[in-house]
Amino acid sequence: MREIVVPAALTANHIQQQGEAGRAWSAGLPALAERYLEEWGLRLDGEPAHGFVSLVLPVVREDGTGAALKLQPVTDENATEAPGLRAWAGDGSVLLLEEDPSTGTLLLERLEAGRSLSAVADDAKALSILADLLARLVAVPAPAGMRRLGDIAQEMLDDVPAAVAQLPDGRYRYWLEVFAGAVRELVGEPGDRLLHWDLHYDNVLAAGREPWLAIDPKPLAGDPGFDLWPALHNRWEDVTATGDVRRGVLRRFDLMVERLGLDPARAAGWTLGRLLQNGLWNLKDGEPFLDEEQLAIAEAIRHRQ
């Protein structure tokens, strides 16, 4: 059997997140992979790839079809990945073939890992493709057991007073309060659609049965407006290249709102909620500031509230 080599960058990510526990988990990946190769009747079929936390091995099943074995530690974010993929059943998303919830291991249909939507040079075309996929994904009601945006939003609001106190810059404090205010207006109506939560160009891959399919969701139940931010911020250089950042952001925002059939004010409010989440994460990571690109997005979409 071909030796399974864990990429050094993946090990470094796990050490960064969990220290020695992360190093140990990464060291156990070859044995974990061999377990599922045997249990699910798979053989290796190429070089490994990886995301920030997952190792993905191209494999072939006993019937000769290609697949991808995804190995990842179980976290709050990815614990809902398999149920979400089952609910979508391949409609706009990669197909789930096998799963083991106890270890977070998934067997997925094989897509073209080397060709993501980032390869589409025309930003307007790429965004249209992504928006059409997102419209299909959020059309599905969230199944039972999903994390719920209402709970996440309330937890964020509970964290705001302490977070504001940590920000030394009055401008950042102002924006964090703006974000929190938008969430307070919407928290009572958090929505019930099945959200991807991380749909950007690199999480859309070329496929065989469809031109493009979404991968790597972190599903939760909520309002589709909470799913717009990754595409607004994606490939930011294309926005700045227009020479008018506000206009560039609103072009993206308006296209997605139209394709998804959303209320612009609610979509803007939940997008500000996403920026609140990102800001709180920055502070948790010891960064006492807000991202300037995200503030530019906030400044633009406030005009749609």
Would you give the distance in Å from CA 79 to the centre of its chain? 13
Whole-number Å distance between alpha carbons of 33 and 43:
10
Q: Residue 288: CB partners within 8 Å, gap ≥ 6?
A: 166, 167, 168, 169, 172, 282
Give the number of residues written for the chain.
305
Q: Which residues are catalytic?
A: 198
Q: Counting runs of H as helices and runs of E as strands, what totals does the chain give?
A: 12, 12
Q: Residue 153: CB partners within 8 Å, gap ≥ 6?
A: 183, 186, 187, 190, 273
Place of tokens 């094989």: 110
Q: How many other β-carbons are positioned within 10 Å of the β-carbon of residue 115? A: 14
Helix (H) or strand (E) holding 266: helix 264-284
